[in-house]
Amino acid sequence: MIESIDVQLVVPLFQQMSVYLLIAYLFSKTPLFRPLANLSSWPIHKLMVYGIFSSFCIMGTYFGQQTLDAIANTRAIGAILGGLLGGPLVGLAVGFTGGMHRYSLGGFTDVACAISTTWEGLLAGLVHAFWQRRGQTERIFKPLQALLLGIVAEGCQMLIILVVARPYDQSLRLVEAIALPMMVANALGAALFMSFIRDAKFQADELASQVSRRALRIARRCVGLLDEGLNQRSAQAIAEVVKDETGVAAVAITDRQQILGFTGMGADHHQVGRPISSVITLDAIRDNRVVFADGLTTPYQCSIEGSCELGSSLVVPLRGEQEVVGTIKLYEPKRKLFRNLNRSLGEGIAGVLSNQILHSQLQASRALLAEAELRALEAKVNPHFLFNSLNTVAAVLRRAPQEARQLVLHLAEFLRGNLGRNTVTVSLVQEFEHIHHYLAIEKARFGDRLRFVEDLDEVLEDEQVPALAIQTLVENALKHGISRAEQGGEVRLTARRQGDHIQVIVEDSAAQLPQQNDGLGLRLVRERFAALGVSCTLQLHHQPGIATRAELIWPRGVLS
């Protein structure tokens, strides 16, 4: 008789578990599921865990199978998972709620089931607390652990039924009939449910990781592109970088009035310089908010060309110091859904660009003061460079402590060269060493976009040069050349004899638009020599697509 009941219970219990898991799987696709995968300590999230798994406990009882005046059920799954994900107090509350519900249904096992369900929730909560104290919270999400806990918890329930439920003969027959099916169903159900949660956590973590990696690559490739502000050239370069990294159909960047840059599908009619006509773009600028038209719940239609293939758009405002200065817009075609990854990435990119725009605005507003203090008056430390350097060291420290140590040493030597200088001239070898530390620090910021080569004729090592004069030329090469080129380039620094003169050449392969020969930086270099009564020649030579070269020549020995 018992063997017959045992077999008859297996199929209904597994059917209950399947329905239970189907509901759990569908639930795992909703936003309410996210706190379960994050082990959040917020009270509202703890309350959500309690409510969710108390409901599963009650549902497990209702789905139960009447057997020998008792209910064979999958109630323990809710109690176990509530404890594992919520901790001891939540587990105790879930178990108690499920137990009281079972008690309200009556039967000779009502008290035993109430006690055992409460104990199951508490036991799972104690496991949660154990791993949390050891700092190994990832182990909470192991399905095998949920499986073993289900077996142990159901084993405890059978013992409690034998000890508490009366008459004893009837409780013994019940345990013999339901023990194995309930242990297998509840343990397997808890393990499978936990695997859903673990997978959801993995997917969320992977999504965040992908967004972070792509955002970092975009930020790195966009370094320096906004130094001169948000204009057509910088906007077009950034739009191409963003499209390349995200793989969306098209990317546009606007200011408050017009399209500054556009690349991808629809470029034939989304032309640079065209006034903004899109309502969602104007809304994003006016209200300083993200606007997403997915083409499904929120219709999207190109405002320029009715036959445009673009079918969805994400518009994110770009914020400056005091107001929205423009937008970045990501598009997908009508036949393709807009990925959540690209939506998150688009908002992250806008944040990065907004910070760069803000930095550009602040830099521009203080440019004359900085030049006067740091160049003409030979201030000892450039705060902007120091700020960037410390930020670079902080960023590198997280992933490469040894590399960060070398950066700190370079920065220390660079600052020592500035703060320890008490003469207006230095030897060429000292200037080259100072520039080497400077370029090593900038190399960490630009990465593979910056390469540099130094070549100093040994005969000239002791020749004197106005302090920071050559470094100014190197900084110009980075600011006007390397930083504006998407692929970066090489800076080549050479000092050699030219008869009775010294020739210093600073050449960058980025070959961007030529600098002005009368620019502020070059003028200050000339003034440094003039202040020492030395005549020098400083010329810029631009070879489109090849290199931009600054050539500085002055007589040998006049500064020694």
Residue 84 belongs to a domain with what CATH number?
Answer: 1.10.1760.20
- CA trace torsion 398, 399, 405, 408 (10° rounding): -60
* pLDDT less than 50: residues of the chain: 1-5, 366-381
Judgement on whether residues 91 and 162 belong to the same structural domain of the protein: yes
Q: In this predicted structure, what is the pLDDT of residue 87? A: 93
Q: Pick from 365, 380, 409: which residue ends a domain?
A: 365
Does 252 share its domain with 169? no
Predicted confidence at residue 379, as pLDDT, reads: 46
Domain limits at 323?
A: 232-365
Tell me the C-alpha distance between 29 and 367, whole Å. Answer: 52
In this structure, the number of other CB atoms found within 10 A of the CB of residue 478 comes to 23
Q: What is the pLDDT of residues 271-285, one digit of tens each?
A: 999 999 999 999 999
Whether the CB-CB separation of 86 and 49 falls below 8 Å is answered with yes
| 442 and 324 within one domain | no
pLDDT tens sequence across 422-467: 667 889 998 999 888 888 888 887 888 888 889 989 899 899 988 8
Record the pTM. Answer: 0.48
Residue 113 in contact with residue 104, Cβ under 8 Å? no
322 and 378 both lie in a single domain: no
444 located within any domain: yes
Q: Are residues 372 and 355 in the same domain?
A: no
How many angstroms separate the CA atoms of 150 and 153, rounded?
A: 5
Q: Is residue 244 part of a domain?
A: yes
pLDDT the model gives residue 476: 83
Q: What is the pLDDT of residue 254?
A: 94
- Residue 211's pLDDT is what? 66
Same domain, 507 and 525: yes
Do 373 and 360 share a domain, yes or no? Answer: no
* Residue 217 falls inside a structural domain: no
* Same-domain status, 350 and 392: no
Q: Are 332 and 414 in the same domain? A: no
Domain boundary among 313, 343, 365: 365
Cα angle 147, 87, 89 (rounded to 5 degrees) comes to 125
User: 320 and 308, same structural domain?
Assistant: yes
Asked whether residue 332 falls in the same domain as residue 438, the answer is no
Find the CATH number of the domain harbouring 308: 3.30.450.40
| Residue 542, domain CATH | 3.30.565.10
How many domains is the chain built from?
A: 3
Whether 340 maps to a domain, the answer reads yes
**H helix runs in 222-315, sequence order:** 232-246, 279-287
DSSP 468-516: THHHHHHHHHHHHTGGGSTT-EEEEEEEEEETTEEEEEEEETT--SPPP
With beta carbons less than 8 A apart as the criterion, state whether 479 and 504 touch: no
Whether residue 46 contacts residue 88, with contact meaning beta carbons closer than 8 Å, is answered with: no
Q: What are phi and psi of 295, to 5 degrees?
A: 80, -5
- pLDDT of 298 reads 81
Question: Is residue 373 located within the same domain as residue 299?
Answer: no
